[in-house]
A and B are shown apart, each in its own frame.
Chain A
Amino acid sequence: MRFPSPAYFLRFLLSVGLLILTTAAFLALRGVIDTPLIALLYLLPVGLSTALWGLAPGITCAFCAFLTFNYLFIQPLYTMTVHRPSDLVMLLVFLLVAVVISQLVGRAQMGLAAAREREREATKLYELSTALAGLQDDQSIAAIMAEQIYATFRGEGVEIGLIGDQPVMRKFPEGSSGSSSPPDLSLPIQAARGLMGTIRLWRPALPASPQERRLLQTFASQGALALERARLAQAESRAKVLEESDNLKSAILSSVSHELRTPLSTIKAAATSLRSGEVSWDSSARGELLAAIDDEADHLNLLVGNLLDMSRLESGALKPKRQWNLLSEIIGSVLERMRRQTEAHRLEVEVSEDLPLVPVDYVQMEQVFTNLLSNSLKYAAKGTIIHIHARTTDPVTLLVQVTNQGPHVPDKHLESIFDKFYRVTAAERVSGIGLGLSICKGIVEAHGGKIWAENQPGGFAFDFTLPLTWDGAPPPHPPLETDVA
């Protein structure tokens, strides 16, 4: 049994104090007002005490009032004896009425308190279920639960441990690193499919009331529901991804077998003719055959790289490893690598060295430019101009344009050219699996940018944007220096 708190005694003191105050007032008026009226007036502090401080102080006040009234106002004064039968009746009636009033007021008060408590519970539950609605992953559900339980039960700390190898979600006041003692309250999070985790609550100062236990139980079942819903949603999206990747695989197989065979046939033909000895050692044909093998091997490498990126994009594994980069540097290294392929076209690069740094994955951005350039090289006639241009449209956005003088694409196809395996021309005419542009789209969007295509007077353009901030921040400046070595 715990010792009642000082606040509890204070309430008794207050009610007795109130009685003493009113008694003092009545004593001053003893000659002026009638004794029955005083009895009636004594009901005031009794009722007030009950209303303000509860049933027990009210009843105490009633008894004290009964005694004081008898002692100070009933003849003979300053004794506890009663001479007149009518006074005795008055005293008894007073006691009865005082006790009945205390009880009525007290009960109403308790009813009100219970209603308030229920309302608080309902509000907290409402808050919890609103916060949990729509959450799809276990960790954020556990975080919300810990947050709400901590706010509702005002303990020293809360821990939500989920089954499986997930980190324990803790909520402790700032500066505290958690408790080493066993929790004061521990509840399982039980779902239809079994135990999903445990709630542990530290609150040594105040034992949990039955209502609080019930509320915590309800919290636990709300959490279990949310967790179960999240698992179902995850399972569903996994199934969807599986189905899509299955479709992708069969599409890849049919497309790849065709596309990979073309460069392979070239390589095979060139290599066998070189081995056969039918091509003379110093003829120009030999050089051309060797160049064909080299080019087609590069082409195969690009195809395989795109296939790999596509499968990563599908599985969500193509996460950009961002760093602050210079766009001109990226474009420079792509052009260097593609020097031979781009020889037949005229390349114009208008990318200022003074552009701000962009937070991108260098290798992925190279892939974007490689794919956009190979696409442009494929469709635009030899000798035409391919133009790369980059500028900032506003302080936080970079716009990159790759323009060629190739044929227009019908407007209805402009969006779908970024879809997987989508090709505007008949498959036989131009080589490619139709993966390059969809990978560009995947990469640009993973960087938080947008990509689109547009017909322009005399040509065709790919445009994409890249954010110039990383988590909302511009690139940090290196320490300034002006001295000369």
Chain B
Amino acid sequence: MSNSPHILVIDDEPQILRALRTILTEKGFRVTTAVRGEEGLTLAAANTPDVVILDLGLPDMDGIEVCSRLREWTPCPIIVLSVRDAEHDKVAALDRGADDYLTKPFGIEELLARVRVALRHSTRTQGAQSQLVKAGPLAIDLAWHTVTRDAEEVKLTATEFKLLAYLAANRGRVLTHRSILTQVWGPADADHTEYLRVYIRQLRMKLEADPQRPEYILTEPGVGYRFLADE
């Protein structure tokens, strides 16, 4: 079992720790738990986990701080847990290097899906990036700058493609408004969320079967967007 992925859970609620330990162990992960930020940092340094699940509301230190301290030395994926109204904290954690977030209360399928994405992503960054991203009827070729839907080419403008390519290259991961705007439009336009809204709408109209109920370009309320590709 020593080859199974190792997950470090940092949360101060014993009930949550108990539930997560039970479920994740059942799913074949090795699980270590910590109830304080300092303890979590020490455990992370000692055990080099494959994924860290981090609650943002810790008793001894700010979860965002834990996030930045982890990022100083490890690229290991961090999934933060937070509550509905703390969008600001989630965005801050993501901008400081967290990879994903979950809003409490969450379903376990959601958590497992995020853990899988995180693990896949960390192995992918070590290996070669795949050039072709597939999502349902969509195929995006990042190298040749082409997008097809049911094998028919979809015409995109330069900015639309740049946006889609950034989302697709980070498939499965949540990307904050700021990071997308900086990447696609440049740092000077990092606050122009309205550009993003307009272009996401255009992309959905061109790519989604029902733009009102998108299946691939998903909105993360108050945080950003996520591209859902085939596993």
A→B interface (CB under 8 Å)? 294, 297, 301, 305, 308-309, 321, 323-326, 328-329, 331-333, 335-336, 349, 351, 353, 357, 361-363, 366, 475-479, 481-485
Contacts and interface: CB of A to CB of B under 8 A. Distances in A.
Contacts of A332: 212-214, 219
B160 to A, nearest CB: 7
A443 to B, nearest CB: 12
B128 interface: no
A351 B211 CA distance: 11
Instruction: State the main secondary structure of chain A at its contact with B.
Output: mixed
A478 B157 contact: no
A349 B195 CA distance: 25
A476 B87 CA distance: 24
B205 interface: yes
Given A305-B84, A362-B221, A326 B158 contact: no
A353 B201 contact: yes
Interface string B194-224: 1101111100010000011110000101100
Contacts of B197: 324-326, 329, 357
Given A301-B105, A326-B197, A353-B201, 10 more contacts: A294-B107, A305-B85, A321-B222, A323-B177, A324-B194, A329-B201, A332-B212, A353-B205, A478-B194, A478-B195
A366 B213 contact: no
Given A478-B198, A483-B158, A485-B157, A366 B221 contact: yes
Nearest to B194: A324
A453 B139 CA distance: 47
6 contacts: A325-B197, A349-B212, A363-B87, A481-B159, A484-B157, A485-B158
Contact of A476 (B84, B192, B222): B192
Nearest to B107: A294
Given A329-B219, A362-B222, A363-B87, A481 B194 contact: no
Nearest to A312: B85
A145 to B, nearest CB: 36
B193 A323 contact: yes
Nearest to B147: A485
Interface in B130-174: 145, 155-162
Contacts of B158: 481, 483-485
B145 A485 contact: yes
Contacts of B211: 328, 353
A310 B192 CA distance: 31
Interface in B59-118: 84-85, 87-88, 105, 107
A308 B221 CA distance: 18
Contacts of B162: 485
Contact of A475 (B84, B88, B194, B213): B194
What 5 pairs between A and B have smallest CB-CB spacing? A324-B194, A478-B195, A485-B161, A363-B222, A323-B193
Contacts of A351: 212
Interface residues of B, number: 34
Contacts of B155: 484
A349 B88 CA distance: 30
B20 to A, nearest CB: 16
Contacts, number: 84
A353 B204 CA distance: 10
A324 B193 contact: yes
A298 to B, nearest CB: 8
Interface string B2-29: 0000000000000000000000000000
A300 to B, nearest CB: 9
Most buried by A among B160, B162, B197, B200: B197
B101 to A, nearest CB: 14
A361 B177 CA distance: 14
Given A332-B213, A335-B213, A326 B221 contact: no
A161 to B, nearest CB: 33
Contacts of A324: 193-194, 197
Nearest to A333: B219
Contacts of B198: 357, 477-478
Contacts of A366: 221
Nearest to A328: B212
A485 B160 contact: yes
Contacts of A477: 198
B221 A363 contact: yes
Given A323-B193, A332-B219, A353 B85 contact: no
A297 B214 contact: no
Nearest to B145: A485
Nearest to A367: B84
A324 B200 CA distance: 13
Given A332-B214, A357-B194, A481-B157, A326 B201 contact: yes
A393 B205 CA distance: 25
Most buried by A among B107, B160, B193, B194: B194
A324 B212 CA distance: 17
Contacts of A361: 222
Given A329-B219, A357-B197, A484-B157, A321 B87 contact: yes
Nearest to B156: A485
A371 to B, nearest CB: 14
Contacts of B145: 485
Nearest to B88: A321
Nearest to A470: B194
A323 B213 CA distance: 21
B129 to A, nearest CB: 19
A141 to B, nearest CB: 32
Contacts of B199: 478
Contacts of A482: 157
Contacts of B88: 321
A484 B147 CA distance: 12
Nearest to B193: A323
Most buried by A among B105, B205, B212: B212
Interface in B14-70: none
A478 B222 contact: no
